[in-house]
Amino acid sequence: MASVLVLKSSILGEFSSSTKLIDGAIEQFGNDHFVIDRDLAAHPVPMLDGEIMAGLRGAENPTQRQQDALALSDQLINEIQACDTLLIAAPMYNFNIPTQLKNWFDLIARAGVTFTYTEQGPKGLLTGKKAIVVTTRGGLHKDTPKHHITNYLITLLNFFGISDIEFVYSEALAMGEASAAASLEQASNELSDRMSLTS
């Protein structure tokens, strides 16, 4: 049975289009997968700061906060190491990914654990995994200069050793009910197609 790590990051709760798309796919294919569902908005991980960064790098005499952050980082890394497929909800907020999702990436970025430095440059250690990214937007940004979310996530995932990456786009969600409905239906169908290949 394939295992899927689901990362939700929308702050819109029940009104989130990206969450609805992913929940629909999991409802359809959940019996074929072992699913770890992590809602980073409902249960946010701490934002990286100097104290936490020092703790993740092995600070001497770590504070309780540093110990807690390291334990959480270990848990997050264990989850992604155990999964075959990473299913990421990445809505566009102000032309970037949500802070909640960025915080997750910051906590799993650990030299010697999820990546390492070599004479040829950084090498990702989370290999052999597939990533499916569901990205939703109010406007039309695909294939425009504002489309940097895709390149940013590709860069991040590649850094960790994940190169098998597919994107599902749902755009024009704030450009009228008809456009939104058509876009969501198309995205739902594309996500179903991609999830069916991970069973």
* Confidence check: pLDDT of 2 > 90: no
Is 135 annotated for ligand binding? no
Total number of domains constituting the chain: 1
Is 73 annotated for ligand binding? no
Helix (H) or strand (E) holding 37: strand 33-39
* Confidence check: pLDDT of 193 > 90: no
pTM listed for this prediction: 0.91
Is 117 annotated for ligand binding? no
Residue numbers of the domain that contains 163 = 2-196
Instruction: Read off the pLDDT of each residue in 185-193 and give the average, rounded to a whole number.
Output: 89
3-class secondary-structure state, position 189:
helix
User: What are the pLDDT digits (tens) for 9-57?
Assistant: 999 988 999 999 999 988 887 677 788 999 999 999 999 999 999 999 9
Is 16 annotated for ligand binding? yes
User: What are the pLDDT digits (tens) for 77-118?
Assistant: 999 999 999 999 999 998 899 999 999 999 999 999 999 999
Is 92 annotated for ligand binding? yes
User: What are the pLDDT digits (tens) for 108-162?
Assistant: 999 999 999 999 889 999 999 999 999 998 666 776 655 678 999 999 999 999 9
CATH of the domain at 70: 3.40.50.360
Is 93 annotated for ligand binding? yes
- Of 172, 185, 195, whose CA–CA distance to 30 is shortest? 195
DSSP secondary structure string for all residues of 71-115: HHHHHHHHHHHH-SEEEEE---BTTB--HHHHHHHHHH--BTTTE
**Alpha carbons 29 and 170: distance in angstroms, whole number:** 20
Share of the chain above pLDDT 90, in %: 65
